[in-house]
Structure 1
């Protein structure tokens, strides 16, 4: 079974992350997501896309165990660029993409959600970028998208503390478009998509061409620096300790303070 399932109904494509237990964004998931986007972008029947996760979470983050197995700084910088390119592709799509978030959207999971044009978040969900807890930094453009959405001060606090925020806080900060009752995020996302698909495809494409100009040139430079630093910190002593502590389910003992 594919790590990302696709179903199409009423001109809406539903992409379901299906890698239990946490829908971690492994290389398998990222490749499957890219393949599904190929199908969706080329299908004239599809006028809107909804992304959600099967099981308990939207996505609890990147697959740290897989990333920690091998590679040097250059490999991890390349990995960051690959993830950035995929998420940029989502953000640059000419078809609206809605994230239906339940349970948790953490690390790479939140970075995926932020690449979507609209975010519906369930009550009880937790959102955050906890990478510094592992001695790392976000690598899929989280250092660029989060400040752009919630402001530099709030983004700095979220990343520096590694503490997740609630659905209501996400709404207050502008990270969530709306908060759905528990168990209703997907339903609300589909209802919203149903309104969108009634619009002219020509006008929607024109709108997204205009919205693309809202990104500054500094954003691209920021992503490049993020990928570079992602590779550097991934092979630091603290990153090795942070990843080991994560796997061993204990508090890390960082050497470099």
Structure 2
């Protein structure tokens, strides 16, 4: 089981449960979370979804070992939804999405915050968008949503530097709404989720739709630009060096890449 599902007080809690892999997203987990969001959207007994992670990580992003297999094996069997299908489910999710970042969040473990309606973060957690360190492009419409959330320069630092963002920085820039002591994180996130869930679902859906609808076309365009850049860079010299270095347990060396890379 890679995802735990629990219901209480009209709040459906989804817990990423690949703790041994720091909740990194493989094809199985992408599919499980996408299906869970689609199910919650269609379930009239669910008003709010609360998403968190098991263990010391929220999510370490895409499983890089599986990513290397995808990059080098054209016969690799992909999932039903995969990463694009999860993004579709996040974009279309009509009810409030509350995210509780319990530990480190990399890649989609950070960019998913662009789709959260409320974000809570443990004071010991940290975030990273490792795209340039992997030789690839941004994802999940973060090139649009992060500047909207935190401003251009904070977004530029997150997306360009591939450096860790500590909880206090994430809160100060507006990427997360509230910081919590680790032992208080889930209770605080659940308390706020229950408040939302006590309201009429029809009204919650209407409010979220009026907030998100003006941005849908821009999100679709941003995803298209990011996907084109990702396809161009995936499997290129910088990306292959990054994935090889990860598999070999060393730091990547980009200094000997061909000109322009």
Query: How does the TM-score come out when normalised to structure 1?
Result: 0.90
Question: Counterparts in 2 of 1:146-157, with a 5 A limit?
Answer: 146-157=146-157
Match of 1:43 in 2: 43
CA deviation after TM superposition for structure 1 residue 39, in Å: 2.4
Deviations 1:203-254 (A, max 9, x none): 1111112012341634322210101111111111111001111222322111
Cα offset, 1:101, TM superposition? 0.4
Matched, 1:126 2:154: no
- How far apart in 1 are the matches of 2:181 and 2:51? 18
Alignment deviations for residues 183-216 of structure 1 (CA, whole Å, 9 cap, x no partner)? 3221111000111111122211111120123416
The SS at the match of 2:56 is coil
Q: Matched residue of 1:58: which SS?
A: strand
State the Cα distance separating 1:51 from its structure 2 match: 0.5
> The residue matched to 2:70 in structure 1 has which SS?
coil
For 1:15, the equivalent position in structure 2 comes to 14
**Residue 164 (1) aligns with residue 164 (2):** yes
1:129-208 to 2 correspondence within 5 Å? 129-208=129-208
8 A contact 1:58–1:104 mirrored in 2: yes
Instruction: State the partner residue of 2:68.
Output: 68
**How much does 1:82 deviate?**
5.1
Moved over 3 A (4+): 216-219
- How many residues get paired? 254
**Preserved contact between residue 108 and residue 138 of structure 1 (Cα < 8 Å):** no
Structural RMSD (CA) = 2.4
Which residue in 2 is equivalent to 1:3? 2
Q: Is 1:132–1:162's contact at 8 Å kept on the other side of the alignment?
A: yes
Q: CA deviation at 1:92?
A: 3.1
**In structure 2, what is the Cα distance between the partners aligned to 1:107 and 1:233?**
16
Matches of 2:88 and 2:191 in 1, distance apart?
Answer: 25
User: What is the CA–CA distance in structure 2 between the aligned matches of 1:206 and 1:146, rounded to whole Å?
Assistant: 24
Question: Unpaired runs of 5+ in structure 2?
Answer: none
TM-score between the two structures when normalised by the length of structure 2: 0.89
Relative to 1, partners in 2 of residues 1:47 and 1:251: Cα closer, same or farther, differing over 3 Å?
same
Q: Is the 8 A contact 1:103 1:126 kept in 2?
A: yes
Q: Distance in 1 between matches of 2:41 and 2:219?
A: 25
User: Using a 3 Å threshold, how does the CA distance of structure 1 residues 92 and 118 change in structure 2: closer, same or farther?
Assistant: farther
User: How many angstroms does 1:29 deviate by?
Assistant: 0.2
SS of the aligned residue for 1:159 comes to helix
Unaligned runs of 5+ in 1: none
Residue 84 of structure 1 and its aligned partner are, at CA, apart by 4.1
Give the structure 2 partner of residue 224 of structure 1.
Answer: 224
SS of residue in 2 equivalent to 1:24: coil
| Closer, same or farther: CA 53–199 of 1 in aligned 2, 3 Å | same
Shift in Å, 1:61: 1.1
Query: Conserved in 2, the CA contact under 8 Å of 1:92 and 1:212?
Result: no
Query: Quick one: structure 1 residues 16 and 140, their matched pair in 2 at CA, closer, same or farther if it must change by over 3 Å?
Result: same
Question: Secondary structure, in 3 states, of the residue corresponding to 1:215?
Answer: helix
Distance 2:123 2:107 in 1: 19
